[in-house]
Amino acid sequence: MENCIFCKIINGDIPAQRVYEDDDMLIIKDVNPQAEIHLLLLPKEHYADIEEMSDEQAQTLARCIKKLSGMTKQLGLEEGFRLVSNKGKHGCQSVGHLHIHILGGEQLGDRMA
């Protein structure tokens, strides 16, 4: 998508602190961290949210999450983490490109982030 900030980051048009990248996803550091470790998992294919996601895209996202589960030590998340995906205005989705917040590195509160 032409005006999508995450697509521009994925394409290298906007700089970001890249943590991991493969054919399916890019993981970057969040510029406004809400936890000691706050990363964003960005699927490389653009779709706004889970409602727009095709079955094939869902399978790709599942592979990305599975890959993430094997990277916990590398990312400093071996004590645990939280995954959050905001959807729509009431869900506080600020960028119309599905992304997953990865929060950890400290004891997180009991309330949902």
39 contacts 29 by C-beta, under 8 angstroms: yes
Q: Which two structure tokens, joined as six digits, stand for 43?
A: 């699927």
Q: Is 38 one of the catalytic residues?
A: no
Count of H-run helices and E-run strands, the chain: 3, 5
Catalytic residue among 38, 46, 90, 99: 99
Catalytic residue list: 99
